[in-house]
Amino acid sequence: MTTEHAPARLSGRGAQPRPTGVGVPGDASLVPGVSGRARDAAASAALVASLREALHGAVRVRVVVDGAPDGSARSSSRAVPDLGALGVDAARVGWRFTGNDDDARPPRAGVAATVALLAVGAAGWDGPVEVDDVAAVRGTPAGRAGSTVLVERTC
C-alpha cells in the first residue's frame, strides 16, 4: 500500500524528507460503525497498519483526494471529518481524528477525505492534516473518489 517517492527538500530544514503515499479507498464502510461494523475488518486493519508504518517519524501529513479528471483545480484546507452526508453520527464510528479541531469553524471534509482522516487518526496521528480536495472543486460525486495520504518524514 505504501509508495516511496523521490526525495524533496523541505524549506528551512536540513534533513531530506522521505515522502510516502498510502492509498485510501473512498469507501466509508471501511470505517467501523458506519454500516454497523467495518464491512471488511481485515481491510480496515491492514489500512491502519500501513498508515501507522508510514506515519512513523512524520513531520507533515496531507490528504489528496483523487477523482478529478485532470487534477488542475484544488481546494485546500484543514477540514474535519464529516459523515453527515451519509446520515452517520460521528459518535457511532470506531475511528476518531481530532488533529484539525483547533479551527473555530473548520470546513467539513467530503466522504473520501473523511475516510482518510479517520484512518489517519486510527493509526495514531493527532497533528494537523492539510486536505487537498480536487473532488470538491470538480463536483465529483460523494463516495466515488479515493484518497492518497502523503506523509513527509525525515530520514
- What pLDDT score does 48 carry? 96
For the whole prediction, is pTM greater than 0.95? no
- Which segments of the chain have a pLDDT < 70? 1-18, 36-39, 67-74, 134-145, 154-155
- What pLDDT score does 39 carry? 62
- What pLDDT score does 127 carry? 93
The CA distance from 131 to 41, in Å, is: 26
Q: How many Cβ atoms are within 10 Å of 57's Cβ, its own excluded?
A: 12
- Here the cell at position 135 is 473532488
- What pLDDT score does 27 carry? 87
- What pLDDT score does 142 carry? 46
